[in-house]
């Protein structure tokens, strides 16, 4: 089922887009949890990590490469950042279109709450 992220991909609703290619879109989170909070998503609709198949392996790699590129371009690669995929209820997933959270700009605690 389509989510709000499909509308962002189709540019039907606005988002602060920071990276885009044929397979991947990255935009600023509407409710940032850190000074930098970017969502890196595949344009393909995949609801959760549980729905990944072997055919998505390259695509998932592209999400991380996009995150790395953004981190370098925005200048926080060396200082550091966190990448997170939430999955389903206990993971805290609220939008069922797989997304990589890219968080940076402050010291992030571990373990997460």
Which residues contact ligand 5GP (rule: CB under 6 A)?
4, 15, 27-31, 39, 86, 92-95
The nearer residue to ligand 5GP, 70 or 86, going by C-beta atoms, is: 86
What is the phi/psi pair of residue 28, to 5°? -70, 140
A 10 A CB-CB count for 38 gives: 27
70 contacts 19 by C-beta, under 8 angstroms:
yes
Q: Find the shortest distance in angstroms from Cβ 5 to ligand 5GP.
A: 8
Which entry of 37, 97, 99, 101 is annotated as an active-site residue?
A: 99
Helix H or strand E encompassing 18: strand 17-20
The nearer residue to ligand 5GP, 32 or 54, going by C-beta atoms, is: 32
Instruction: Verify whether residue 97 is a known catalytic residue.
Output: no
The nearer residue to ligand 5GP, 30 or 65, going by C-beta atoms, is: 30
Q: Find the shortest distance in angstroms from Cβ 57 to ligand 5GP.
A: 21
Taken in order 22, 78, 84, 64, the sign of the CA dihedral is positive
Q: Find the shortest distance in angstroms from Cβ 4 to ligand 5GP.
A: 5
A 10 A CB-CB count for 34 gives: 17
The residues annotated with a catalytic role in the active site are 99
């Amino acid at each position: 089922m389509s989510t709000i992220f499909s509308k962002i991909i189709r540019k039907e609703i606005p988002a602060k887009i920071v990276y885009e290619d044929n397979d991947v879109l990255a935009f600023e989170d509407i409710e940032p949890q850190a000074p930098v909070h970017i969502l890196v998503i595949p344009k393909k609709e995949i609801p959760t990590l549980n729905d990944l198949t072997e055919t998505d392996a390259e695509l998932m790699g592209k999400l991380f490469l996009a995150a790395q590129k953004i981190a370098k371009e925005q200048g926080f690669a060396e200082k550091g950042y966190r990448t997170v995929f939430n999955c389903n209820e206990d993971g805290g997933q609220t939008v069922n279109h797989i997304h990589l959270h890219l968080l940076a700009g402050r010291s992030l605690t571990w373990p997460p709450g």
